[in-house]
Amino acid sequence: MDQLNPYETPKTFQLHRAEYLFGVAVVTGLMIANFSELRWWVVVAGFFYIDVIGYLPGAIAYKKANGGPVPKIYYVLYNFMHSFITQGAVILIWCLTVGPEWALLIIPFHLFGDRGLFGNFMKPFALPFEPEAQPAYQKMLDALGVKEKAPKGHEPKEAKTPALQPAA
């Protein structure tokens, strides 16, 4: 992957996720080291508010659409709430208004976990809201001569929802 080819092979995707798993480990270590200072209501609220605002509305819309397309606002909400920029601003505002605290580490824990544990990065408009294998991905790997196959779930079959066409 580079600035002219912003896609990943299965191996680079694994390596990318491994970097975020390292982040999960560091943040977990810091939270354990400061366990007695964690305010648990902040931990719980900080973990869940990202998905309550950024994921659940889109997941519900996707389910209601029976796997069909959902309005782009759900992608925007997901990407906005799962952005390190947005969440960094939330942490900064909290620190300036309430004060810094160890419980805020749950926010990077959530983002690192989504990327490292689940492989969830920003949602492109051109793909279904929930992950679906796209046959074009395996074709791209084949065209590039990539030896490793696409991750499990990319068996040749039609995706439930065809990828959207790029804007002209």
What digits encode the pLDDT tens for the residues 93-137?
A: 999 999 999 999 999 999 999 999 999 999 999 999 999 888 888
User: What tokens does 139 get?
Assistant: 């074709």
Q: Which of 82, 71, 74 is nearest to 58 (CA)?
A: 74
Longest dimension (CA), the chain: 55
Torsion angle, CA of 155/159/164/166, rounded to 10 degrees? 20
Give whole-number Cα distances, 46 to 7, 40, 100, 105, 139, in Å. Answer: 31, 10, 14, 9, 40
Alpha-carbon torsion (130, 84, 54, 100), positive or negative? positive
User: What tokens does 82 get?
Assistant: 């799962």
Query: To the nearest whole number, what is the mean pLDDT of the chain?
Result: 90
Average pLDDT over residues 65-88: 96
pLDDT band at 158 (very low <50, low <70, confident <90, very high): low
pLDDT of the residue at 138: 84
pLDDT of the residue at 168: 47
Q: What predicted TM-score, i.e. pTM, was given to this entire model?
A: 0.87
pLDDT of the residue at 64: 97
Q: Between 71 and 2, whose confidence is greater?
A: 71
pLDDT of the residue at 16: 94
pLDDT band at 153 (very low <50, low <70, confident <90, very high): low
Is the pLDDT assigned to residue 47 strictly greater than 60? yes
